[in-house]
Amino acid sequence: MESDLVAWIRDQVPGHPRLGLGPGDDAAILRLGDRPSCVVTVDLLTDGVDFQLDRDAPRRIGRKALAVNLSDLAAMAAQPVAAVIAVALPRHDALSLGRQLLEGLFPLAREFDVAIAGGDTNTWDGPLVISVTLIGETTGRGPLRRSGARPGDLIVVTGQFGGSILGHHFDFTPRVREALLLHERYDLRAGMDVSDGLSLDLGRLCDESRCGAVVWTDQIPISDAARQLAGDAADGSTPLDHALADGEDFELLLAVHADEAARLVADTTIGAPLSIIGEFVAEEGLWQQSAREGRRPLPRRGWEH
Ligand SMILES: [Mg+2]
pLDDT of the residue at 14: 81
- DSSP secondary structure, the chain, as one string: -HHHHHHHHHHHSPP-TTEEE-BTBSSEEEE-SSSEEEEEEEEEEEBTTTB-TTTS-HHHHHHHHHHHHHHHHHHTTEEEEEEEEEEEEEGGGHHHHHHHHHHHHHHHHHHTT-EEEEEEEEEESS--EEEEEEEEEE-TT----STT--TTPEEEEES-BS-GGGTHHHHPPPSHHHHHHHHHHS-EEEEEEESS-HHHHHHHHHHHHT-EEEEEGGGS-B-HHHHHHHHH-SS---HHHHHHH-----EEEEEE-HHHHHHHHT-TTSSS-EEEEEEEESSSSEEEEETTTEEEE----S---
* Residues with C-beta atoms within 5 A of ion ligand 1: 26, 72, 75, 193, 195
Distance between Cα 140 and ligand 1 center (Å): 21
Q: Which residues does the chain have with pLDDT short of 50?
A: none
Distance between Cα 156 and ligand 1 center (Å): 16
pLDDT of the residue at 142: 93
Distance between Cα 185 and ligand 1 center (Å): 22
Distance between Cα 32 and ligand 1 center (Å): 23
pLDDT of the residue at 36: 65
Distance between Cα 68 and ligand 1 center (Å): 8
Distance between Cα 95 and ligand 1 center (Å): 31
pTM confidence score: 0.94
pLDDT of the residue at 305: 61
